Amino acid sequence: MKTVYTDKHKLRDAKIEIHEGGLVAPFECPRRAEIILERIMETGLGEVVAPDDFGLDPVLAVHDAGFVEFLRTCADEWAAAGFGGEAIANCWPTRTMNSPHIPRFIEGKIGYYALACETTISVGTYEAAVASKDVALTATALVMNGERAAFGLCRPPGHHAASDQFGGYCFLNNAAIAAQYARDTGAQRVALIDLDFHHGNGTQQIFYDRDDVLFLSIHGDPMDAFPHFLGHADETGTGAGQGFNVNYPLPPDTPYAVWKECLDQALARIADYAPDLLIVSLGLDTYEHDPISFFKLQSEDYTDCGRTLAGLGLPTVFVLEGGYAVEEVGVNTVNVLQGFDE
Ligand code: Q9C
Ligand code: ZN
Protein backbone atom coordinates (compact mmCIF):
# COMPACT_ATOMS: atom_id res chain seq x y z
CA MET A 1 0.00 0.00 0.00
CA LYS A 2 1.00 3.63 -0.40
CA THR A 3 2.36 5.69 2.50
CA VAL A 4 1.76 9.41 2.90
CA TYR A 5 4.69 11.19 4.56
CA THR A 6 6.26 14.64 4.91
CA ASP A 7 9.41 15.84 6.68
CA LYS A 8 7.32 18.59 8.27
CA HIS A 9 6.72 16.30 11.25
CA LYS A 10 10.23 17.32 12.34
CA LEU A 11 8.83 20.74 13.28
CA ARG A 12 7.39 19.01 16.33
CA ASP A 13 10.60 18.59 18.30
CA ALA A 14 9.86 19.42 21.93
CA LYS A 15 12.72 19.19 24.38
CA ILE A 16 10.82 18.32 27.54
CA GLU A 17 8.05 16.12 28.89
CA ILE A 18 6.89 15.83 32.48
CA HIS A 19 7.36 12.18 33.44
CA GLU A 20 7.40 10.45 36.84
CA GLY A 21 8.26 13.57 38.79
CA GLY A 22 10.88 15.00 36.47
CA LEU A 23 11.62 16.37 33.04
CA VAL A 24 12.67 13.90 30.34
CA ALA A 25 13.22 14.03 26.58
CA PRO A 26 9.80 13.46 24.97
CA PHE A 27 8.89 9.85 24.13
CA GLU A 28 7.03 11.21 21.10
CA CYS A 29 10.08 12.26 19.05
CA PRO A 30 11.00 12.79 15.34
CA ARG A 31 13.12 9.63 15.24
CA ARG A 32 9.94 7.52 15.48
CA ALA A 33 8.74 8.64 12.06
CA GLU A 34 12.20 8.35 10.52
CA ILE A 35 12.56 4.73 11.66
CA ILE A 36 9.13 3.84 10.29
CA LEU A 37 9.93 5.49 6.96
CA GLU A 38 13.28 3.66 6.79
CA ARG A 39 11.52 0.34 7.36
CA ILE A 40 8.97 1.12 4.64
CA MET A 41 11.81 1.80 2.18
CA GLU A 42 13.79 -1.27 3.21
CA THR A 43 10.80 -3.62 2.86
CA GLY A 44 9.43 -2.07 -0.35
CA LEU A 45 5.96 -1.75 1.19
CA GLY A 46 4.88 0.64 -1.57
CA GLU A 47 5.19 4.13 -2.95
CA VAL A 48 5.74 7.05 -0.54
CA VAL A 49 3.81 10.19 -1.53
CA ALA A 50 3.70 13.74 -0.16
CA PRO A 51 0.47 15.12 1.35
CA ASP A 52 -1.79 17.69 -0.31
CA ASP A 53 -2.83 20.87 1.52
CA PHE A 54 -6.49 20.56 2.58
CA GLY A 55 -6.61 23.83 4.50
CA LEU A 56 -8.39 24.32 7.81
CA ASP A 57 -11.99 23.56 6.79
CA PRO A 58 -11.72 19.80 7.54
CA VAL A 59 -10.11 20.68 10.89
CA LEU A 60 -12.87 23.10 11.85
CA ALA A 61 -15.44 20.42 11.00
CA VAL A 62 -14.41 18.59 14.20
CA HIS A 63 -12.44 21.11 16.29
CA ASP A 64 -13.50 24.34 18.02
CA ALA A 65 -12.27 27.46 16.17
CA GLY A 66 -11.02 29.12 19.38
CA PHE A 67 -9.03 25.98 20.20
CA VAL A 68 -7.36 25.89 16.76
CA GLU A 69 -6.51 29.59 17.05
CA PHE A 70 -5.04 28.91 20.51
CA LEU A 71 -2.80 26.16 19.04
CA ARG A 72 -1.69 28.53 16.26
CA THR A 73 -0.73 31.40 18.56
CA CYS A 74 0.28 29.61 21.79
CA ALA A 75 4.06 29.45 21.35
CA ASP A 76 4.20 33.13 20.30
CA GLU A 77 1.96 34.28 23.16
CA TRP A 78 4.11 32.32 25.60
CA ALA A 79 7.24 34.09 24.36
CA ALA A 80 5.45 37.46 24.28
CA ALA A 81 4.58 37.01 27.96
CA GLY A 82 8.31 36.84 28.63
CA PHE A 83 8.29 33.13 29.47
CA GLY A 84 11.19 30.95 28.42
CA GLY A 85 11.23 27.35 27.31
CA GLU A 86 8.14 25.58 26.01
CA ALA A 87 4.52 26.43 26.76
CA ILE A 88 3.19 24.11 29.45
CA ALA A 89 -0.03 24.01 31.48
CA ASN A 90 0.19 24.48 35.23
CA CYS A 91 -3.50 25.09 36.01
CA TRP A 92 -6.93 23.66 35.14
CA PRO A 93 -10.56 24.77 35.11
CA THR A 94 -12.17 23.91 38.43
CA ARG A 95 -14.01 20.57 38.26
CA THR A 96 -16.45 21.59 40.97
CA MET A 97 -17.66 24.86 39.44
CA ASN A 98 -17.35 25.88 35.82
CA SER A 99 -17.25 29.44 34.47
CA PRO A 100 -17.75 30.03 30.74
CA HIS A 101 -14.90 32.56 30.59
CA ILE A 102 -11.76 31.55 28.73
CA PRO A 103 -8.70 33.33 30.17
CA ARG A 104 -7.05 36.00 28.05
CA PHE A 105 -3.58 35.45 29.54
CA ILE A 106 -1.63 32.56 28.01
CA GLU A 107 -0.89 30.90 31.37
CA GLY A 108 -4.62 30.53 32.01
CA LYS A 109 -5.53 29.87 28.39
CA ILE A 110 -3.18 26.91 28.04
CA GLY A 111 -4.63 25.43 31.24
CA TYR A 112 -8.13 25.84 29.82
CA TYR A 113 -7.27 23.94 26.62
CA ALA A 114 -4.95 21.30 28.14
CA LEU A 115 -6.06 17.74 28.80
CA ALA A 116 -2.79 16.93 30.60
CA CYS A 117 0.49 18.69 31.28
CA GLU A 118 3.08 16.20 30.04
CA THR A 119 2.78 17.73 26.55
CA THR A 120 4.35 21.12 25.88
CA ILE A 121 3.65 23.40 22.93
CA SER A 122 6.97 24.34 21.29
CA VAL A 123 7.71 26.56 18.28
CA GLY A 124 6.72 24.58 15.16
CA THR A 125 4.23 22.35 16.95
CA TYR A 126 1.20 23.88 15.22
CA GLU A 127 2.81 23.66 11.77
CA ALA A 128 3.68 19.99 12.35
CA ALA A 129 0.15 19.25 13.59
CA VAL A 130 -1.32 20.89 10.47
CA ALA A 131 1.00 18.82 8.25
CA SER A 132 0.00 15.69 10.19
CA LYS A 133 -3.72 16.17 9.52
CA ASP A 134 -2.88 16.70 5.81
CA VAL A 135 -1.10 13.33 5.86
CA ALA A 136 -4.22 11.67 7.28
CA LEU A 137 -6.51 13.50 4.84
CA THR A 138 -4.35 12.59 1.83
CA ALA A 139 -4.35 8.91 2.82
CA THR A 140 -8.13 9.10 3.22
CA ALA A 141 -8.58 10.76 -0.18
CA LEU A 142 -6.49 7.98 -1.79
CA VAL A 143 -8.83 5.35 -0.36
CA MET A 144 -12.01 7.33 -1.10
CA ASN A 145 -10.73 7.47 -4.68
CA GLY A 146 -10.37 3.72 -4.99
CA GLU A 147 -7.18 2.48 -3.29
CA ARG A 148 -7.79 -0.60 -1.16
CA ALA A 149 -5.74 0.90 1.69
CA ALA A 150 -3.27 3.65 2.55
CA PHE A 151 -1.01 4.51 5.47
CA GLY A 152 -0.83 8.03 6.89
CA LEU A 153 2.54 8.29 8.66
CA CYS A 154 1.19 10.96 10.99
CA ARG A 155 3.33 12.81 13.54
CA PRO A 156 2.38 14.29 15.93
CA PRO A 157 -0.35 11.75 16.77
CA GLY A 158 -3.97 12.78 17.27
CA HIS A 159 -6.33 10.47 19.15
CA HIS A 160 -6.15 12.20 22.57
CA ALA A 161 -7.06 15.57 21.01
CA ALA A 162 -10.72 16.37 21.68
CA SER A 163 -12.82 19.07 20.02
CA ASP A 164 -11.16 21.70 22.23
CA GLN A 165 -8.38 19.98 24.16
CA PHE A 166 -4.78 18.94 23.45
CA GLY A 167 -2.55 16.60 25.43
CA GLY A 168 -1.14 13.08 25.50
CA TYR A 169 1.24 14.18 22.70
CA CYS A 170 -1.77 15.13 20.49
CA PHE A 171 -2.95 18.49 19.11
CA LEU A 172 -5.30 17.91 16.16
CA ASN A 173 -7.23 14.65 15.93
CA ASN A 174 -5.97 13.28 12.61
CA ALA A 175 -8.21 10.19 12.62
CA ALA A 176 -11.34 12.16 13.52
CA ILE A 177 -10.59 14.79 10.90
CA ALA A 178 -10.15 11.97 8.37
CA ALA A 179 -13.41 10.27 9.39
CA GLN A 180 -15.37 13.51 9.07
CA TYR A 181 -13.74 14.20 5.70
CA ALA A 182 -14.79 10.74 4.50
CA ARG A 183 -18.37 11.48 5.62
CA ASP A 184 -18.29 14.78 3.76
CA THR A 185 -16.98 13.20 0.55
CA GLY A 186 -19.42 10.32 0.14
CA ALA A 187 -19.04 7.74 2.91
CA GLN A 188 -22.40 7.12 4.62
CA ARG A 189 -20.93 5.24 7.58
CA VAL A 190 -17.35 5.18 8.88
CA ALA A 191 -15.94 2.74 11.43
CA LEU A 192 -12.95 3.94 13.43
CA ILE A 193 -11.02 1.35 15.43
CA ASP A 194 -8.35 2.59 17.83
CA LEU A 195 -5.59 0.03 18.49
CA ASP A 196 -3.21 2.36 20.36
CA PHE A 197 -2.41 1.21 23.90
CA HIS A 198 -4.11 4.33 25.26
CA HIS A 199 -7.84 5.00 25.02
CA GLY A 200 -8.74 7.36 22.18
CA ASN A 201 -10.59 9.80 24.41
CA GLY A 202 -10.53 12.61 21.86
CA THR A 203 -12.00 10.55 19.05
CA GLN A 204 -14.61 9.13 21.43
CA GLN A 205 -15.66 12.62 22.51
CA ILE A 206 -15.89 13.99 18.98
CA PHE A 207 -18.28 11.26 17.78
CA TYR A 208 -19.97 10.34 21.08
CA ASP A 209 -23.47 11.52 20.09
CA ARG A 210 -23.37 10.26 16.50
CA ASP A 211 -24.36 7.02 14.77
CA ASP A 212 -22.62 7.76 11.45
CA VAL A 213 -19.16 7.12 12.91
CA LEU A 214 -18.78 3.91 14.95
CA PHE A 215 -15.88 4.19 17.41
CA LEU A 216 -14.19 1.19 19.02
CA SER A 217 -11.07 1.20 21.20
CA ILE A 218 -8.95 -1.58 22.76
CA HIS A 219 -6.68 -0.14 25.45
CA GLY A 220 -5.14 -0.23 28.91
CA ASP A 221 -7.85 0.08 31.57
CA PRO A 222 -8.10 3.79 32.50
CA MET A 223 -8.19 2.72 36.16
CA ASP A 224 -4.51 1.91 35.61
CA ALA A 225 -3.43 3.97 32.59
CA PHE A 226 -3.55 7.30 30.74
CA PRO A 227 -5.87 9.06 29.88
CA HIS A 228 -7.10 7.95 33.34
CA PHE A 229 -10.62 9.41 33.16
CA LEU A 230 -12.15 7.94 30.00
CA GLY A 231 -12.14 4.56 28.28
CA HIS A 232 -14.43 2.54 30.56
CA ALA A 233 -16.67 -0.18 29.14
CA ASP A 234 -19.80 1.68 30.30
CA GLU A 235 -19.11 4.58 27.91
CA THR A 236 -21.41 3.48 25.09
CA GLY A 237 -22.49 6.73 23.43
CA THR A 238 -25.31 9.18 23.95
CA GLY A 239 -28.44 10.28 22.07
CA ALA A 240 -28.30 9.09 18.45
CA GLY A 241 -24.81 7.75 19.26
CA GLN A 242 -26.09 5.33 21.93
CA GLY A 243 -24.52 1.94 21.15
CA PHE A 244 -22.02 3.39 18.65
CA ASN A 245 -19.09 3.74 21.09
CA VAL A 246 -17.41 0.53 22.21
CA ASN A 247 -14.54 0.34 24.72
CA TYR A 248 -12.44 -2.71 25.58
CA PRO A 249 -10.34 -1.81 28.66
CA LEU A 250 -7.74 -4.49 29.45
CA PRO A 251 -5.50 -5.09 32.49
CA PRO A 252 -1.70 -4.94 32.88
CA ASP A 253 0.30 -7.67 31.12
CA THR A 254 -2.44 -8.49 28.60
CA PRO A 255 -0.95 -10.86 25.97
CA TYR A 256 -1.87 -10.94 22.27
CA ALA A 257 -4.23 -13.93 22.68
CA VAL A 258 -6.51 -11.90 24.98
CA TRP A 259 -6.13 -8.66 22.99
CA LYS A 260 -6.99 -10.60 19.81
CA GLU A 261 -10.28 -11.84 21.34
CA CYS A 262 -11.30 -8.19 21.72
CA LEU A 263 -10.14 -7.43 18.18
CA ASP A 264 -12.31 -10.27 16.86
CA GLN A 265 -15.32 -8.98 18.81
CA ALA A 266 -14.68 -5.44 17.56
CA LEU A 267 -14.37 -6.60 13.96
CA ALA A 268 -17.63 -8.55 14.24
CA ARG A 269 -19.34 -5.36 15.41
CA ILE A 270 -17.79 -3.44 12.49
CA ALA A 271 -18.91 -6.08 9.96
CA ASP A 272 -22.43 -5.82 11.37
CA TYR A 273 -22.29 -2.01 10.99
CA ALA A 274 -21.29 -2.41 7.30
CA PRO A 275 -19.34 0.86 6.96
CA ASP A 276 -18.11 2.31 3.67
CA LEU A 277 -14.68 2.94 5.18
CA LEU A 278 -12.53 1.68 8.05
CA ILE A 279 -10.04 4.00 9.75
CA VAL A 280 -7.45 2.39 12.03
CA SER A 281 -5.83 4.53 14.71
CA LEU A 282 -2.62 2.52 14.65
CA GLY A 283 -0.62 2.77 17.87
CA LEU A 284 2.29 0.40 18.39
CA ASP A 285 2.59 1.08 22.12
CA THR A 286 0.86 -2.26 22.79
CA TYR A 287 4.34 -3.74 22.23
CA GLU A 288 5.86 -5.76 25.08
CA HIS A 289 8.86 -3.43 25.36
CA ASP A 290 7.05 -0.10 25.07
CA PRO A 291 8.54 2.17 27.76
CA ILE A 292 5.24 3.75 28.95
CA SER A 293 2.67 0.98 28.42
CA PHE A 294 1.77 -2.44 29.84
CA PHE A 295 0.54 -4.86 27.17
CA LYS A 296 2.64 -7.77 25.95
CA LEU A 297 2.26 -7.87 22.16
CA GLN A 298 5.23 -9.25 20.22
CA SER A 299 6.53 -8.16 16.83
CA GLU A 300 5.05 -11.14 14.92
CA ASP A 301 1.63 -10.45 16.48
CA TYR A 302 1.40 -7.24 14.45
CA THR A 303 1.52 -9.22 11.21
CA ASP A 304 -1.39 -11.34 12.42
CA CYS A 305 -3.24 -8.18 13.44
CA GLY A 306 -2.86 -6.71 9.93
CA ARG A 307 -3.99 -9.97 8.33
CA THR A 308 -7.03 -10.05 10.62
CA LEU A 309 -7.98 -6.46 9.76
CA ALA A 310 -7.74 -7.27 6.04
CA GLY A 311 -10.24 -10.08 6.60
CA LEU A 312 -13.00 -7.47 6.91
CA GLY A 313 -12.56 -6.68 3.21
CA LEU A 314 -13.12 -2.94 3.76
CA PRO A 315 -11.35 0.07 2.21
CA THR A 316 -8.97 0.93 5.03
CA VAL A 317 -6.99 3.99 6.12
CA PHE A 318 -4.21 3.49 8.67
CA VAL A 319 -3.31 6.57 10.72
CA LEU A 320 -0.22 6.41 12.96
CA GLU A 321 -0.76 7.16 16.66
CA GLY A 322 1.68 6.15 19.43
CA GLY A 323 4.50 3.62 19.85
CA TYR A 324 7.60 4.55 21.83
CA ALA A 325 9.92 1.55 21.62
CA VAL A 326 11.71 3.57 18.96
CA GLU A 327 14.13 0.91 17.68
CA GLU A 328 11.29 -1.56 17.07
CA VAL A 329 8.49 0.79 16.00
CA GLY A 330 9.44 0.52 12.30
CA VAL A 331 9.28 -3.26 12.24
CA ASN A 332 6.06 -3.38 14.25
CA THR A 333 4.28 -0.75 12.14
CA VAL A 334 5.27 -2.30 8.83
CA ASN A 335 4.36 -5.78 10.10
CA VAL A 336 0.73 -4.61 10.46
CA LEU A 337 0.73 -3.08 6.98
CA GLN A 338 2.43 -6.11 5.35
CA GLY A 339 0.05 -8.48 7.14
CA PHE A 340 -2.83 -6.44 5.71
CA ASP A 341 -1.35 -6.51 2.19
CA GLU A 342 -0.64 -10.28 2.17
N1 Q9C B 1 4.62 9.57 32.01
C2 Q9C B 1 -0.14 8.44 22.58
O3 Q9C B 1 0.22 7.28 22.61
N4 Q9C B 1 1.15 10.01 29.59
N5 Q9C B 1 -0.11 9.21 23.65
C6 Q9C B 1 2.37 9.29 29.66
C7 Q9C B 1 4.10 8.55 31.13
C8 Q9C B 1 0.82 10.41 28.26
C9 Q9C B 1 0.33 8.71 24.92
C10 Q9C B 1 2.60 8.74 30.99
C11 Q9C B 1 0.74 9.27 27.30
C12 Q9C B 1 0.25 9.76 25.97
C13 Q9C B 1 -0.58 9.05 21.30
ZN1 ZN C 1 -0.68 5.56 23.01
The stretch 226-244 carries a mean pLDDT of 98
> Quick one: average pLDDT of 322-339?
98
> Residue ranges of the domains in the chain?
2-10+26-54+125-341
Determine contact, residues 230/116, Cβ cutoff 8 Å.
no
Residue 30's H or E segment, with its range, is helix 30-43
Cα separations in angstroms, 180 against 104, 133, 283? 31, 12, 20
- The values of phi and psi at residue 249, to 5°, are -75, 135
CATH architecture of structural domain 2-10+26-54+125-341: 3-Layer(aba) Sandwich (3.40)
What is the distance between the alpha carbons of residues 316 and 148, in angstroms, rounded to a whole number?
Answer: 6
Percent residues over pLDDT 90 in the chain: 100
Q: E strands along 84-159, which residues?
A: 149-152
Query: Measured in angstroms, how far is the CA atom of residue 196 from the centroid of ligand 2?
Result: 5
The C-alpha atoms of residue 156 and residue 92 are separated, in whole angstroms, by 23
* Residues in the ligand 1 pocket, defined by CB under 6 Å: 19-20, 118, 157, 160, 168-170, 196, 198, 226, 283, 285, 292, 321-322
- What pLDDT, in 10s, does the model give residues 81-123? 999 999 999 999 999 998 999 999 999 999 999 999 999 999 9
What span, in angstroms and rounded, lies between the C-alpha atoms of 340 and 342? 6
Predicted confidence band at 21 (pLDDT cuts at 50, 70, 90)? very high
77-91 confidence digits (pLDDT tens): 999 999 999 999 999
Q: Mean of the pLDDT values across residues 217-232?
A: 98
Ligand 1 centroid distance, CA of 13 (Å): 16
H helices of 114-255, in order, are 125-144, 174-184, 201-207
Nearest CA to ligand 1 atom 11: 168
Q: What is the pLDDT of residues 118-137, one digit of tens each?
A: 999 999 999 999 999 999 99
Closest residue by Cα to atom 5, ligand 1, is: 168
Amino acid of residue 161: A
Q: What is the pTM of this model?
A: 0.98
- Residue 169: exposure state from Cβ atoms within 10 A (0-12, 13-18, ≥19): buried
Closest CA to 196 of 233, 169, 172: 169
* pLDDT single digits (tens) 167-214: 999 999 999 999 999 999 999 999 999 999 999 999 999 999 999 999
Q: Give the ligand at the shortest distance from the Cα of 295.
A: 2
| Among 9, 63, 159, 160, the one annotated catalytic | 160
Half-sphere exposure of 19 (CA within 13 A, CB side): 15
Look up the ipTM and state it.
0.98
For residue 101, the CA-to-ligand 2 centroid distance in Å is: 31
Q: Which of 53, 48, 68 is closest to 125 using CA atoms?
A: 68
